[in-house]
Amino acid sequence: MPRRSVVPLVIGTFVLRMNTGAGGIVLGLFLARLAAHTGYAITSLQVGLLSVVFFSTELTLAPAMGALSDRWGRRLFMIVGPLLGLLHVALLPFTPVAQPLPYLLGLQVIAGLSSAITIPTVLSYLADFTARDATRRVRLMSFYELATSGGIGVGVVLGGFAWDHVGRGAFGMLALFYLTAAFCMFVSPTMDRRGDHGQVRVVAARYLRILRTPRLFIFIPAWICLSALLGVWFSSQLTFVLSKPRPALHQLFVGALSGPGGGSRLSLVLGGYVLFFGLCLLFWAFFLKRVPRLLLMLTSVAGVYLACVALLAINHGSGSNPALVIWIPVLLIGSFAESSFAPSALAYLADLSEESVADRGLLMGLYSVFLGLGQLLGNGLGGVFAHTWGFDGLIYLTVLLACVALISLLALYRQERRLARRDAANAAVDESNVHEPSAIVDS
């Protein structure tokens, strides 16, 4: 099969992820305008509920959709997924002014179904495509991750500008992108399926056995809590808080982008942050092997606390330039430190997989599962905290999640120390057993 045949799939993935980034921004701005120009009060709690419904639908249905793609073919599902996304964004402009929440919740179910169909099917397709070539698998998975992160970054920048310039026409732009993605999936060639039917119980038993591994089990709370930060800070919730009409709260960030051109300013800020975060990840890619994984993960928690202090100071400041000169560098240093978690966590999981090579795929697949659970938790609690305390609530929730992650990582550090002492003792015993026979011979 020619190598160029997978290019449409990578392009389609980039377009879909671009829609993910732009869609989150556009939805938040749309809800803020809906709350400002109608008599119906849309709250942060309701915005969080929308995200909870989306991720609940995706996490619940993704395994079933992946199994069905084994039976009915990948390409059919890869085409249907973007078309459902098109249906979702096409119906959003028709949100009723009176009691819009039930309508929006229904649309989030459609969006979650679209994601549940697309993501496992695309990953399965790539696994099929590279089944006989391990080198190509590494390369294509790298291209897939690049398309994913790059698409989200481009979408974040594009979303705010599109909303400022064309308003609700931004939904038409998103629909066009979904149509483009569906076409890319359509021109991707049909692949032979390599699914294993009738082994559900066996796979479930292997998952449970992996989860009971002490080092992994201790790591799970930190994994979920730090993944939840993505749901807190990279979702429609943040856009809604920044763009909604300013209430009687003495917080600089609440409603800071509610005026004309707010969407463009939001895109510039988030786009700059995504670029900075990407450069940080590039740095850690080269520096990671020189520092122990756990030390880097503990450093990331310290970075979260540092960033929270800076955000709290800016949010309750006057916005004057001297204060920003102090706190923005502190925020960037904290963000730089916290960016070390994702690569160090993946490297740590890869280390754990050496203990169970046969289940390596299952173990690494858990990263996506707990990433989704974390985003579900972050979006749900983010709505509650933002509804109660505004932008401060997002900071309070971040501190709380970081505390749980810190406890988990310290427990993991203690476990690693215990295992290291045990291994050292075993090595000493083995060495003494080697020297004893030689001593007897000499005598």
Cβ within 8 Å of residue 58, ≥6 positions away: 112, 113, 115, 116, 119, 372
Asked if the structure places residue 442 within a domain, the reply is no
Alpha carbons 232 and 395: distance in angstroms, whole number: 9
CATH number at residue 386: 1.20.1250.20
Number of domains within the chain: 2
Asked if the structure places residue 228 within a domain, the reply is yes
Q: Are 395 and 312 in contact (CB under 8 A)?
A: yes
396 and 273, same structural domain? yes
Tell me 189's DSSP state. Answer: P
Amino acid at 16: L
Q: Characterize 126-136 residue by residue with b for buried, 16 or more Cβ atoms within 10 angstroms of its Cβ, and e for exposed.
A: bbbbbeeeeee
Locus of tokens 């400041």: 317
Q: 3-state class of 304 per DSSP?
A: helix
Q: Are 88 and 107 in contact (CB under 8 A)?
A: yes
259 sits in the region (left: phi over 0; alpha: psi -120 to 50; else beta) called beta
Tell me 190's DSSP state. Answer: P
Question: Which of 313, 337, 338, 316 has its CA nearest to residue 327?
Answer: 313
Asked if the structure places residue 432 within a domain, the reply is no
Last residue of a domain, one of 192, 213, 248: 192
Locus of tokens 């790059």: 150
Q: Supply angle C-alpha 10, 234, 389, rounded to 5.
A: 170
297 and 220, same structural domain? yes
- Return per-residue pLDDT of the chain as tens, 443 residues: 444 567 888 899 899 989 988 998 899 889 888 877 666 677 888 888 998 899 889 888 887 887 787 777 788 888 999 999 999 999 999 998 888 889 999 999 999 999 888 888 887 787 777 666 655 665 676 677 668 778 888 888 899 899 988 888 999 999 999 999 999 999 887 765 554 544 556 666 766 777 777 888 899 999 899 889 988 988 888 888 888 776 556 888 888 887 777 788 888 888 888 888 878 877 887 776 677 888 989 999 999 999 999 999 999 887 777 888 899 999 999 999 998 887 788 778 767 766 665 555 556 556 667 878 888 899 899 999 998 998 999 999 999 999 999 999 999 999 888 887 887 777 777 666 666 655 555 55
Asked if the structure places residue 443 within a domain, the reply is no
* Segment 356-401, tens digit of pLDDT: 655 555 565 566 678 788 888 998 999 999 989 989 999 999 999 9
127 and 59, same structural domain? yes
217 and 175, same structural domain? no
Question: Which of 116, 119, 137, 117 has its CA nearest to residue 128?
Answer: 137
181 and 157, same structural domain? yes
Cα dist. 365→125, 257, 400 in Å?
Answer: 15, 38, 27
pLDDT of residue 184: 92
**Dihedral pair phi/psi, residue 382, rounded to 5°:** -60, -40
252 and 151, same structural domain? no
The CB density around residue 419, as the number of other CB atoms within 10 Å, is 12
288 and 183, same structural domain? no
335 and 280, same structural domain? yes
9 and 149, same structural domain? yes
Asked if the structure places residue 315 within a domain, the reply is yes
Alpha carbons 188 and 76: distance in angstroms, whole number: 11
306 and 159, same structural domain? no
Half-sphere exposure of 273 (CA within 13 A, CB side): 19
Q: Are 12 and 340 in contact (CB under 8 A)?
A: no
Question: Which of 37, 15, 52 has its CA nearest to residue 235?
Answer: 52
112 and 221, same structural domain? no
The CB density around residue 216, as the number of other CB atoms within 10 Å, is 20
Q: Are 190 and 6 in contact (CB under 8 A)?
A: no
Radius of gyration of the chain (CA): 24
Asked if the structure places residue 80 within a domain, the reply is yes
Asked if the structure places residue 407 within a domain, the reply is yes
246 and 106, same structural domain? no
Residue 313: burial class (beta carbons within 10 Å; 0-12, 13-18, 19+): middle
Q: How far is CA 63 from the centre of its chain?
A: 18
Q: Are 222 and 405 in contact (CB under 8 A)?
A: yes
Amino acid at 261: G
Asked if the structure places residue 57 within a domain, the reply is yes
Residues of the domain holding 147: 1-192
pLDDT of residue 398: 97
Q: Are 42 and 276 in contact (CB under 8 A)?
A: no
Last residue of a domain, one of 140, 169, 192: 192
Q: 3-state class of 295 per DSSP?
A: helix
- Sign of the CA dihedral 207, 212, 216, 217? positive
pLDDT of residue 441: 52
Which alpha helices (DSSP H) does 339-359 contain, by range?
341-353
Last residue of a domain, one of 166, 192, 218: 192
Amino acid at 142: S
pLDDT of residue 443: 53
